[in-house]
A and B are shown apart, each in its own frame.
Chain A
């Protein structure tokens, strides 16, 4: 086990100690101990930048299940490292923030930090695993820890609802992804991502290519809250704000983006890949921004804004695939999409993290997150206000913040869609920049709403649950650091380009790097009067206009009925599937044994007849039949008549006698067919069982002794005739298809030589097949003990127990 493995597992290893620390050291906030973990890890991973920026990778393997090809292979390249730094860096800030946000006396911090560390370790495992099964394991662990964190305040109904929703949706995606992984393994023969990239041509030729791609993408889309799976994210806002900042803006929701970026080398040659990802991403971008505007809860706005920004990055990752189709060009313009994706991923983590923390501060200091109650906080909370302005303007894509740069690159990538002359992108593709433009307008509007409605306008402090004041300094440090990063990255974006962005982009285009193309990452602040600049100016003008006339067009949101929204559909599906399952169950689980018998008999006969039909076994031959002796006719007639008569008896007593007639006739058959042992046994057993039947009859309650004939039911008659005919056909088939000689010849020859006996039946019972007899007498003994206990240990509450077992209808 290498240091790298220990680093990945460090949060998981530290988690078990947290509850002890929480109990033992009440005076110190547990968060301070937790803080050590991400800080150490951040410093540790920071040292890898030198390695990855030189184009090298670090691989360490620990054998886990070598026979199945499942080993814990840690693999650090540019992409993995970028995510690892985001996870540990923002993780450290979030832990610091949570120390001030969560009260150490009121909250069960032991739980909180265990979940958080579980999540951190799981997330590191996802981004640094080369083996897909190990990655899947960590992937599900992120779902589970996210579920626990969303439901942290489990006494709240909304928390439980949100936790369950996110669990259902992300686990659905995770399982789909597992399916994709299994398909890929069956094609390549290895679970290693690097092997899959190396055998990309093999995968592309496989008939399962599309299935594997869609299954993997389902995993990515559900995790990254892409349309229509985005609905869990707004409900996940019931989690404590540090969790929302960490999981639902900076890290977990980016796991899907990571997966798409990671699997790009495998799939991106396909046009379908580009189309699906770009269109889903672009639509999510629009839908998220459109819905964010109508939210009144600050976290709701941020949730939809996250959805929208994730869609933006997703569509950029899709468009980046176009770069592969223009290889050999000196300056590959489509690579800008992927560079923009990676750059925006970093930017989004910084500004969204700071915005969530800002909202947490507002919530913490005023007691509400409702923008209808907030307003005029600028003078009371100047630092928070500054952070909010920086974050929102960066999100809106205004200069001089980093959001402006990535937004410009995004618009540039979308406008370049026109010049692609394949996949019908030059015709339908025009929608992408149009939708992107509209989405940017809405993004601009909700970004303005965030700080205008919260900090500007009329102060109405008397309506707030708490008297607002500036947050403690410890709470302000983490968002301030992120806000400073927003500004710094805005002014000097190129600090990251060679250290982080370039290695990450190179991991997405291994084939281009191998063919000698250089990935040029150069982000300019001022790039001349290009179409994207005019688009940004248009966004600002239109956005400002719409913001100030917002009351005139807010009405459009009221025209969407709840039932047709995705949330309505989700809730409806849950209710409907529950109801349908119950109805289905109630339909066939009637509680009557006779219904179940009908199912069993119909299924049995159906299966037998179908297989006989399927293998064409209706070809009967009666050549080996013995001649029928006259007394056999007589005996057969007696049995048939007695059996039929049972059905038409009015009383039960004659039925019992007739059953005895059948039994003794069978004993006679045994006599005729030379089976004296069977005949003896049959006679005695028949006597005993008839006696027992009579005993039962004697003890029956008076009411059921009434002489009523069995009611005739057509369906029962049909089923019984069907079963009878089936069994008859089956026996004919078995008789006429006997292909092997019987084993009884062996017994005949050896019964005296080997077992010193002359009664073959008995020798078979006690010697050749004594094992069967051994357990048959055990069966008898169990039956006797069963009867003894049932009768001797009858409880006095017999009637009550009987009532409980009655069928409900």
Chain B
């Protein structure tokens, strides 16, 4: 991680940001996965992840962020839309109406018996779109002169 900054010495901010970044990310992933049972979900999870990225953006600069996390957020938006659309579409191949979700219990390694739900895939689409949109907006405005 490139920590040089000519004018200001942001060492406390930068150190804190690196630590807090992971806490926020974990929190956002938790929000995302918990969505079906407790408050949270793709939208707020996505916003939280974006907030973590913004924190990095504040502590460092956009070039650093792009070097560390080389995502194209516009493509991420598109990917999210595609995932949400495919999740919605898959049901019609089983003869069900559009956007019919399916779920079942599975015995997973490590996690034990868990319910898997196609709604989580839909939420993943939402999650990606929200990150993509927020980051696109903030990056675009931030980089404009």
CA of A783 to CA of B42 in the docked complex: distance in angstroms?
A: 18
Knowing A759-B39, A762-B41, A791-B141, the reply to whether A770 touches B133 (Cβ < 8 A) is: no
Q: Which of A90-98, A488-496, A774-782 contacts B (4 or more CB under 8 A)?
A: A774-782
Residues A676 and B47 in contact, CB atoms below 8 Å apart:
no
Q: Which of A118-126, A149-157, A681-689 contacts B (4 or more CB under 8 A)?
A: A681-689
Number of interface residues of A (CB under 8 A): 35
Residues A770 and B44 in contact, CB atoms below 8 Å apart:
no
CB A785 to nearest CB in B, in angstroms, measures 7
Residues B43 and A791 in contact, CB atoms below 8 Å apart:
no
CB A809 to nearest CB in B, in angstroms, measures 33
User: Which listed residue (A677, A684, A755, A778) contacts B101, Cβ 8 A?
Assistant: A755
Residue of B nearest to A794 (CB): B144
Pick the most buried of B36, B38, B130: most chain A CB atoms within 10 A of its CB: B36
CA of A780 to CA of B127 in the docked complex: distance in angstroms?
A: 12
A473 within 8 A of B: no
Pick the most buried of A684, A758, A784: most chain B CB atoms within 10 A of its CB: A784
CA of A787 to CA of B43 in the docked complex: distance in angstroms?
A: 20
CB B71 to nearest CB in A, in angstroms, measures 14
CB B30 to nearest CB in A, in angstroms, measures 12
Residue of A nearest to B123 (CB): A766
User: Which listed residue (A762, A770, A771, A778) contacts B36, Cβ 8 A?
Assistant: A762
Residues B126 and A773 in contact, CB atoms below 8 Å apart:
yes
> Which chain A residues lie closer than 8 Å to B37 at the CB level?
757-759
Residues B39 and A788 in contact, CB atoms below 8 Å apart:
no
Q: Which of B1-9, B10-18, B60-68, B79-87 contacts A (4 or more CB under 8 A)?
A: B79-87
Q: How many residue pairs at the A-B interface have CB separations less than 8 Å?
A: 121
B74 within 8 A of A: yes
A680 within 8 A of B: yes
Residues A766 and B103 in contact, CB atoms below 8 Å apart:
no
Residues A787 and B140 in contact, CB atoms below 8 Å apart:
yes
> Which chain B residues lie closer than 8 Å to A575 at the CB level?
none
Residues A777 and B81 in contact, CB atoms below 8 Å apart:
yes
Residues B126 and A757 in contact, CB atoms below 8 Å apart:
no
Residues B51 and A791 in contact, CB atoms below 8 Å apart:
no
Number of interface residues of B (CB under 8 A): 44
A614 within 8 A of B: no
A767 within 8 A of B: yes
Residue of A nearest to B128 (CB): A777
Contact digits for A652-679, partner B, Cβ 8 Å, 1 yes 0 no: 0000000000000000000000001100
CB B132 to nearest CB in A, in angstroms, measures 7
Residues A680 and B40 in contact, CB atoms below 8 Å apart:
yes
CA of A688 to CA of B133 in the docked complex: distance in angstroms?
A: 12
Residues A788 and B36 in contact, CB atoms below 8 Å apart:
no
CB A677 to nearest CB in B, in angstroms, measures 5
CA of A774 to CA of B133 in the docked complex: distance in angstroms?
A: 14
Knowing A677-B41, A758-B36, A758-B37, the reply to whether A766 touches B133 (Cβ < 8 A) is: no
User: Which listed residue (B47, B77, B140) contacts A791, Cβ 8 A?
Assistant: B140
B117 within 8 A of A: yes
B99 within 8 A of A: yes
Residues B144 and A681 in contact, CB atoms below 8 Å apart:
no
> Which chain A residues lie closer than 8 Å to B35 at the CB level?
759, 762, 766
A792 within 8 A of B: yes
> Which chain A residues lie closer than 8 Å to B80 at the CB level?
777, 781
CB A12 to nearest CB in B, in angstroms, measures 50
> Which chain A residues lie closer than 8 Å to B78 at the CB level?
781
CB A377 to nearest CB in B, in angstroms, measures 84
CA of A763 to CA of B103 in the docked complex: distance in angstroms?
A: 13
> Which chain B residues lie closer than 8 Å to A777 at the CB level?
80-81, 84, 125-126, 129-130
CA of A755 to CA of B117 in the docked complex: distance in angstroms?
A: 9
Residue of B nearest to A680 (CB): B44
Residues A757 and B36 in contact, CB atoms below 8 Å apart:
yes
Contact digits for B20-62, partner A, Cβ 8 Å, 1 yes 0 no: 0000000000010011111111111001100100000000000
> Which chain A residues lie closer than 8 Å to B144 at the CB level?
791-792
> Which chain A residues lie closer than 8 Å to B43 at the CB level?
681, 765
Knowing A684-B51, A777-B126, the reply to whether A677 touches B115 (Cβ < 8 A) is: no
> Which chain A residues lie closer than 8 Å to B117 at the CB level?
756-757
A628 within 8 A of B: no
CB A210 to nearest CB in B, in angstroms, measures 57
CA of A677 to CA of B126 in the docked complex: distance in angstroms?
A: 15
Residue of A nearest to B117 (CB): A756
Knowing A676-B39, A684-B47, the reply to whether A770 touches B122 (Cβ < 8 A) is: yes
Knowing A757-B36, A757-B119, A792-B140, the reply to whether A781 touches B132 (Cβ < 8 A) is: yes
A329 within 8 A of B: no
CA of A767 to CA of B51 in the docked complex: distance in angstroms?
A: 26
Residues B41 and A778 in contact, CB atoms below 8 Å apart:
no
A717 within 8 A of B: no
CA of A591 to CA of B119 in the docked complex: distance in angstroms?
A: 48
Contact digits for B129-145, partner A, Cβ 8 Å, 1 yes 0 no: 11011101100110010
CB A678 to nearest CB in B, in angstroms, measures 9
CA of A757 to CA of B119 in the docked complex: distance in angstroms?
A: 10
Residues B122 and A784 in contact, CB atoms below 8 Å apart:
no
CB B97 to nearest CB in A, in angstroms, measures 10
The 5 closest A-B CB pairs, nearest first, are A676-B39, A784-B133, A757-B36, A784-B136, A777-B129
Further contacts, 20 of them, CB under 8 A, given A680-B40, A777-B125, A784-B137: A677-B40, A677-B44, A680-B44, A684-B47, A756-B115, A757-B36, A759-B35, A759-B39, A766-B35, A770-B99, A770-B101, A770-B119, A771-B99, A774-B85, A777-B81, A777-B126, A780-B77, A780-B130, A781-B133, A791-B140
Seen from chain B, the residues whose Cβ lies within 8 Å of a Cβ on chain A are: 31, 34-44, 47-48, 51, 74, 77-78, 80-81, 84-85, 88, 98-99, 101, 103, 115, 117, 119, 122-123, 125-126, 129-130, 132-134, 136-137, 140-141, 144
5 A-B contact pairs sorted by A residue (CB < 8 Å): A677-B44, A755-B101, A756-B103, A766-B42, A774-B85
